[in-house]
Structure 1
Amino acid sequence: MMSNEHAVNPSLCLNLCDGILTCKISGESMLIWNSSMYKIQLKRFVDSANSSNQNIQFKVHLTYPYYKRIIEIISRDAMNRGYVFEVAKEVKDHIKDRELFINERSNVGIAIKQQLGIVFSQFNEYKATVDSQMVRKLREKQMWDSFFMWTMKRAANFSVPGSGKTSSVLGVYSILNFQNQVDRVIMIGPKNSFGSWIDEFKACFEDTKSLNELIIHDYKNLEDKKKALLFDSNDKNLILLNYESIGSLISEITELIKQRTLLVFDEVHKVKAMDGIRAQFALEIAKESQYTIALTGTPIPNSYADIYNLLHILFHDEYNEFFGFSERQLKSPTTDDVEIINSKIQPFFCRTTKKQLQVPDANEDIVVASQASDAENKIFEILLMKYAKNKLALIIRLLQLETNPKLLLNAIENNGEDFSEILDISGEIEDIDYKDYSKEILSLIASIDKTEKFMTCLSLVEALYKQGDPVIIWCIFVDSIFRLQTELESRNIRAGVIYGGTESNNRQDILNAFRNGEVDVLITNPHTLAESVSLHSVCHNAVYYEYSFNLVHLLQSKDRIHRLGLPKNQYTQYYFVQNHYNHKNDGEYSLDQRIYERLLEKEDIMLDAIENNVLEQLTSVDDDIEFIFKNLLFN
C-alpha cells in the first residue's frame, strides 16, 4: 500500500469558493480521505454532506483561526507523506486582512484606554458634541469610557458599581442620536434597574431631550407586550426589558433592534451560565445589533467562564477570530491561559473605579458583635452534628438559627434552589432536610422569642434613628425583613419593606418615601434591591444583619449609598452584625465573621485586579466552604 501511495502522489489546493473554504484534490483522492490525518485531525472541520471525492468542502461557520489550523494540519501531512499542497492567494489574503482588522481594532481600544496622543483630537470632538447634548456633564474618566464604547461599537464596561456606567452609556446615545444614527436605547436588565435608567435619562438630558419610555411591565399579557413593541415603540427613546421577558418577545425585539437602536445589556452577569436559556435568548437578540454595550461591575465573580456569554453577545460571529477561548480553557485556565485571556480581552473593555472618579472613601467598617444565648449555643452544637456532611445546608440552617430559630422547623423548599444566589452556587443542594428534631431541640427552639443577634441589630438601628440618621438594613430571609419591621414600628420607627414580592410600583413609592424622609428605615435584601438604585443622597448608614458569601451582593448593596455624586466630605458607614457561639471543642466561632473575612478577601482580589488592568479570578464555592468551616470540629 505504501508504494502505491507514493506512486500516485496526490496534490491539494486550498481555496475560497463563494466565501466557503474548499480543498481540491488531484490524483488518488482516497489516499487523503482514508488517511489518519483526515480521520483524526481534519474531519471535524469538514462539511461531508457537500463534499465529493475530488473536493473537500469545509463548514460554513469556520473563521480565519480555523483556516490557519487547517493549513497547519495539511502542510504537516504533505511534508510527511511527500505530496504537493498549495494555498491560494485568496485564502492567504483573507487571513492577512482579518488579522490586520482585528489587530487594528485591538490597537484602537488600547490607544483609547491609554489615552495616547493619536486619539486626543477625536476625543475632544466627541467630548464637545456630548457636552452640547447633555445637561449633566460627564466626568473626565466617564467621558473617556463613553468615547471608548462609541468608538468600539461593541464593548463592555466593567466599571465598579456606583461609578456612573449608565451616564457614560447615555453619552454614547446622545452622540449617536445627534448624528442621526440611533433613535432609541433598548435596555435589557433586571427589573429593579428600570427606575435608575429613567432617573438617569432625566438627569442627563432634563428638558433638552424629553424622555419617552416604554416599560414592558406596563403591559399585562404577552399579546399586549408584543403589540406595544411592534406598534407603540416608534416614538420611544428608552425601551426597558427584563431578562425574564425577552424569550417570548425575540422576534419583536429583533425587529426593533434592526432599526437604529443602541442595545444595552445591564448587569450582564445575569446571563453568565454557558447553557442558560436566558443567555441563548440574549445571544440571539444581539446578533442583529450594530451598537451593543454590555455592563457589569462584577464580570467574573467565580471563574473566567463567566465572560463566555458576554463575549459571544458582543462578538457572536467573530468570537473565534477575536478570542478563540475554549470552554475548558475558561473553566480551568493555566497560568499561561490567564495571561493570554487577559491580553486578548483587554482592548475590548473599559473599567473605572470610584477612586478615579474621586468618590470619597467609605469609613472603616464597624463590626457589632452579639453573643449567642445558652439555648442558641446548644442548638448550634446539634446542627453541627446533623449537617456535618452537608456544609451548604448547614450554612442555611445556621443563618436561620441566628435570626429566627423557628425557621428550622420548616422544610427548605426546592432543594435549596431559592438560596442559590445567596450561596453563589448553581443547582440543588443534596440531602438537605433534617427538620425532624428531638423533643430537646424543639423545646430549645420554643424557648427563644428573639435571638441575641436580632436584639443587637434592633438596638443599633434604634441608636442610629435617635441620632436622626436614616438607615438601610440588609437581610436575606423575608421572615427577618418583616420581623424587623414589626419590632421597629412597635418602637415608633417608620420602617419600609422591599422584597421579591413587592410590586414594581410599590417599590418606587417606598423608595420615594424613604428619600423624602417619610420612612426612617428601609429593610430589604440584596437580590431584590442591590442593582441600580441610588440612595446616597439621603442615606449614609447601612446595617448588614444577614449576609451571604456572594461578592456581587455585597458590592452592589454597598453601592446603594456609596456612589458617584457624594460630596467630598460626606461619610459612608457600614455596620456588620456578627453573632458568636461558644463551641465546646473549639472555643468561640462566628459564621458571620468567617463570611465577612472571605468577602473582604475577594474584594481585595478584585480591586488589585483593577489596579493591574486585568480581570480577577475569585475563589470557588468549595474554597469558600473550606475557609468558613476551617478547624471547626463537628463531633
Structure 2
Amino acid sequence: MTLYVTLDKGMVAFSPEDATISAIIQSKQYKIRIRRYVSSTEPNKILFKRDLSYLAMQRAIDAFALCAKELGFELVVDSPIRDYIDDREMFLVARSKLGIEIKQHDEKLTEHFAAFESVVNEQLERKLRDRQMWDAFFMTSMKKASNFSVPGSGKTSSVYACFAYLSSIGKIKRILVVSPKSAFGPWIDEFKQCFGAKRELNAFCIHDVGYSSSAAKKSALRYECGNVNLLLFNYESVKTYKDEIKGIVADDTLLVFDEVHKVKRIGGEYASAAIEIAADASYVIAMTGTPIPNTYQDIFNLLHILYGNEYDDFFGFTTQALKNPSPATTQQVNAKLRPFFCRTTKEQLQVPPPNSDMVLPVYVTIDEENILNVLLKKYKKNKLLLMLRILQLESDAKQLLNAIDLSEFSYILDDDVEVDEIDYANYSDEILDLINSQGLSSKTMQCLSLVRGLVAQGKPVVVWCIYVDTIRHLTDLLNNAGVSTCSVFGSVGLDQRTELLDGFKSQKYQVLVTNPNTLAESVSLHGICHDAVYFEYSFNLVHLLQSKDRIHRLGLPNDQYTQFYYLQPVFKSPEGYFSMSEQIYERLKEKERVMLQAIEGGVLETQPTTEEELDAIFQQVLQ
C-alpha cells in the first residue's frame, strides 16, 4: 500500500486503494496528531486545511510518517511540497541574515550599496546623510521591514529614497501611505523637498474635497489613479476603501504605514484592515519612533502587517507570551526582531543637541492649595481623574466645573486601558464659591510672562497643552495682550489647519498653541521656531518625543539652539511640597533614558503601564 502527499490547491494525501485511507483515519496517530490539520476526507483522499503554514505541513507529514511505519505502508511526498517547505523555511532565515549583514555594513554589500546610493543621489534633489542612506538601503533590500528611528530623524526622506530607487529600476510606480491625517501635508511637502524639479508630484488624498462621496472616491481609485505617484489614507479610512487599496498595492506599489503604533490594538478594526491590505503587497515599510509604548504585545500587529504569512512559522509568539514575557522570552523576541528593523537616533545623524531643559517651578496661591486638598480627597480612588482635575486646577480652576468624559482622554494613555467614566464635577457650595472666585492661575500668569518675553526677543513660540479649553483660553489671553497667536486642535479642519501652520511659518502669527494629539506627528516647524513651552503635559512618552521633534529634528544647522520650557506648579501639602508636573517630568525623562539605552543596545524597550505611572506620580500625597 502506498500513500501519496501532494499539492493540489492545498495539501492532499491520497491513495489508489480506499483501504489505505480507511486504515489511516482509524489509527491512533491520525486521531491524536493528524486530524487537527484536516478539513475533510473522501473515499481515497484526505484534504488538508487551505491555510496551513509550512511548519504545520511539515508536522502533518511527520505524523504521517509515524502512521505509515505503524501500518506498514509506503509514504511518498511529492517534490513540490518538499520544495515549498524548504523555500518557506529559508525565506525569513535568509532575510534575517541579510538584515544583520546590512546593519553591520558587511563588506560584501559595499558594491551593492554604492550602486544603490548612486541611483538615489541621481534621483533625489535632497542629499541624505550616510546613516539615512543605509536605512533606505536596508528597507529596500529587505522588501518588508520596519524603521523605528526616533522622531525627527528623517524617516520620511529614507522612505522616499526607497521609492526613488525602486521606481527608477521599474519595480514600483507609486507609494501608498497610511498615516494620521495630520501627516498628509508633511508627506506632500517632503516629496517636493526630496525630489524638487526631478520628479513631479501627482497625489491622491482620500480627504480631497473635490470628491463628493465615498462612491466617487472609490471610482477615482479604480479608474483615475494610473498616473498618481503618492496616495494618502488615514487609518480610519482604510476599512471603507479596503478593496480599492488591495487592488492598488498588489501591483507596482510601495505600501507605507506611518506611525504604525496607531494600530497596536490586537483585533481592532483598524489593525485588521491594515493587516489585510498588506497581505498582497510586495514592498511594505512600517514606521514608528515608539514601537513598544507599553508591552511587547504592541509588536504583534506590526509583525502581522509585515509578515502575516510567516508569523506563526518564524516568530510564533503568542499574545500572552508577549504581554508578560520572561527574561528568556524577551531575549528571544529581541533576537528574532533585530534583523527586521533599522533604528537611528538624532545623535547618530549629528543633529545639534537641544539646550538643557528650562524647568520653571511655579509656587501657587493658598486658594489653589486648598482646592488641591479637596481634589486629593475627592478623587483618591481614581488617579487618572485626579491627574486630569489637577491639570485643570493648574491651568484654569473654572475648568473644574466642567464634566470630564475619560474616554476623550484615552489618547494620553500609553496602553489600551478602557476608560469610559464620566465625572460630573459635584462640589459643595463652599468649594464652588472658591473655584468661581479664582482669577488667572499662577501657572497661566507665569506662562503669559514667559511667552511675551520670548516674543519680545523676536522668537516664535509653540505652547503645548492637553485641554482644548486651555488652548482656547491661552490663545485669547495672548491675542488680547497684543501677541499674534493661532491655535490648532482636533476640530480644526485640514485646510484651515494647513493655512494656520503656513501662517505661523511665515511669521503672520508669533505663537502657536496646540496639543500633541493633533500636531505631534510629522509636522516640521524647525525652520522657524526654536522655543517650545510645555504648559500641560502627561506621562505619555510618545507625545513628548513627537512634540519636541516638531522643532528639534534633522535639518537644523550645527549652531542652532533649541530650548524647551516646562512649567511645574508647586503645592504645599501636609506631606511637604508636591508638584505633579515635576513627578510627570521625571517619569518622562527616565523613560526617555531607557529608550535611548535600548537603542544603543540594539533591543526594544518596554514602558510602565498607566496604573504604574499614576501610582508613582501620587505616591507622596496618596499614602
TM-score, normalising length: structure 2: 0.93
Residue aligning to 1:465: 455
1:26-425 matches, within 5 Å, as 42-47=34-39, 50-52=40-42, 56-70=46-60, 88=77, 90=79, 92-218=82-208, 219-413=211-405, 416-425=406-415
Residue aligning to 2:621: 632
**1:590 shift after superposition:** 1.3
1:557-596 matches, within 5 Å, as 557-584=547-574, 586-596=575-585
**1:51 shift after superposition:** 2.4
**1:52 shift after superposition:** 4.8
Instruction: Render the CA deviation track for 1:340-385: whole Å, top value 9, x for unaligned.
Output: 1111121111111111110011111111111221111111111111
**1:227 shift after superposition:** 2.5
Identity level (%): 47
Structure 2 SS opposite 1:244 = helix
Which segment is superposed worse, 311-320 or 607-616? Answer: 311-320
Instruction: Render the CA deviation track for 1:239-287: whole Å, top value 9, x for unaligned.
Output: 1111122211112222222332111111111111111111111112112
Instruction: Render the CA deviation track for 1:95-149: whole Å, top value 9, x for unaligned.
Output: 3332223221111111111100111111100110111111111111111111111
Residue aligning to 2:469: 479
1:520 aligns with 2:514: no
Residue 394 of structure 1 aligns with an amino acid whose one-letter code is L
Structure 2 SS opposite 1:51 = strand
**Distance of aligned partners of 1:197 and 1:430 in 2 relative to their CA distance in 1, 3 Å threshold:** closer
Structure 2 SS opposite 1:399 = helix
User: Of residues 505, 511, 526 in structure 1, which corresponds to 2:501?
Assistant: 511
Q: Is the 8 A contact 1:393 1:429 kept in 2?
A: no
TM-score, normalising length: structure 1: 0.92
1:554 aligns with 2:540: no
Q: Is the 8 A contact 2:186 2:524 kept in 1?
A: yes
Residue 234 of structure 1 aligns with an amino acid whose one-letter code is G
**1:425 shift after superposition:** 4.1
Residue 617 of structure 1 aligns with an amino acid whose one-letter code is T
Residue 455 of structure 2 aligns with an amino acid whose one-letter code is Y
Q: Is the 8 A contact 1:22 1:58 kept in 2?
A: yes
Residue aligning to 1:603: 592
Residue aligning to 1:614: 603
Structure 1 SS opposite 2:567 = strand
**Distance of aligned partners of 1:573 and 1:42 in 2 relative to their CA distance in 1, 3 Å threshold:** farther
**Distance of aligned partners of 1:259 and 1:71 in 2 relative to their CA distance in 1, 3 Å threshold:** closer
**Distance of aligned partners of 1:233 and 1:21 in 2 relative to their CA distance in 1, 3 Å threshold:** closer
Structure 1 SS opposite 2:380 = coil
**Distance of aligned partners of 1:85 and 1:267 in 2 relative to their CA distance in 1, 3 Å threshold:** farther
> Aligned equivalents of 2:263 and 2:255: distance in 1?
15
Q: Is the 8 A contact 1:392 1:429 kept in 2?
A: no
Residue 185 of structure 2 aligns with an amino acid whose one-letter code is G
Q: Is the 8 A contact 1:390 1:432 kept in 2?
A: no
> Aligned equivalents of 1:494 and 1:550: distance in 2?
30
**Distance of aligned partners of 1:130 and 1:434 in 2 relative to their CA distance in 1, 3 Å threshold:** same
> Aligned equivalents of 1:631 and 1:29: distance in 2?
72
Q: Is the 8 A contact 2:361 2:568 kept in 1?
A: yes
> Aligned equivalents of 1:604 and 1:41: distance in 2?
49
**Distance of aligned partners of 1:75 and 1:546 in 2 relative to their CA distance in 1, 3 Å threshold:** farther
Residue 289 of structure 1 aligns with an amino acid whose one-letter code is A
> Aligned equivalents of 1:99 and 1:17: distance in 2?
17
Residue 196 of structure 1 aligns with an amino acid whose one-letter code is P
Structure 1 SS opposite 2:241 = helix
Q: Is the 8 A contact 1:393 1:432 kept in 2?
A: no
Instruction: Render the CA deviation track for 1:190-239: whole Å, top value 9, x for unaligned.
Output: 11111111111111111111111122211342122223222332221111
Structure 2 SS opposite 1:437 = coil
Q: Is the 8 A contact 2:6 2:78 kept in 1?
A: no
**1:583 shift after superposition:** 1.6
**1:537 shift after superposition:** 1.2
Q: Is the 8 A contact 1:146 1:172 kept in 2?
A: yes
**1:544 shift after superposition:** 0.4
**Distance of aligned partners of 1:86 and 1:568 in 2 relative to their CA distance in 1, 3 Å threshold:** same
**Unmatched tracts of structure 1, length 5 or more:** 1-10
**Distance of aligned partners of 1:314 and 1:582 in 2 relative to their CA distance in 1, 3 Å threshold:** same
Q: Is the 8 A contact 2:293 2:415 kept in 1?
A: no
**Distance of aligned partners of 1:238 and 1:15 in 2 relative to their CA distance in 1, 3 Å threshold:** same
Q: Is the 8 A contact 2:407 2:420 kept in 1?
A: no
> Aligned equivalents of 1:455 and 1:72: distance in 2?
75
Structure 1 SS opposite 2:507 = coil
Q: Is the 8 A contact 1:196 1:534 kept in 2?
A: yes
Residue aligning to 1:439: 429
**Unmatched tracts of structure 2, length 5 or more:** none
**1:631 shift after superposition:** 3.5
**Distance of aligned partners of 1:36 and 1:367 in 2 relative to their CA distance in 1, 3 Å threshold:** farther
| Aligned residue pair count | 618
> Aligned equivalents of 1:483 and 1:224: distance in 2?
40
**1:17 shift after superposition:** 3.5
Residue 527 of structure 2 aligns with an amino acid whose one-letter code is S
Residue 532 of structure 1 aligns with an amino acid whose one-letter code is S
Q: Is the 8 A contact 2:24 2:67 kept in 1?
A: no
> Aligned equivalents of 2:383 and 2:4: distance in 1?
57
**Distance of aligned partners of 1:476 and 1:220 in 2 relative to their CA distance in 1, 3 Å threshold:** farther
Residue aligning to 1:8: none
> Aligned equivalents of 1:599 and 1:396: distance in 2?
17
Q: Is the 8 A contact 1:29 1:54 kept in 2?
A: yes
> Aligned equivalents of 2:611 and 2:67: distance in 1?
45
Which segment is superposed worse, 370-379 or 11-20? Answer: 11-20
Residue 206 of structure 1 aligns with an amino acid whose one-letter code is G
**Distance of aligned partners of 1:176 and 1:33 in 2 relative to their CA distance in 1, 3 Å threshold:** same
Q: Is the 8 A contact 1:113 1:148 kept in 2?
A: yes
**Distance of aligned partners of 1:359 and 1:258 in 2 relative to their CA distance in 1, 3 Å threshold:** same
Residue aligning to 2:520: 530
Q: Is the 8 A contact 1:386 1:434 kept in 2?
A: no
**1:504 shift after superposition:** 1.1
Q: Is the 8 A contact 1:14 1:21 kept in 2?
A: no
> Aligned equivalents of 1:324 and 1:553: distance in 2?
31
Q: Is the 8 A contact 2:407 2:421 kept in 1?
A: no
Residue 511 of structure 1 aligns with an amino acid whose one-letter code is L
**1:295 shift after superposition:** 1.0
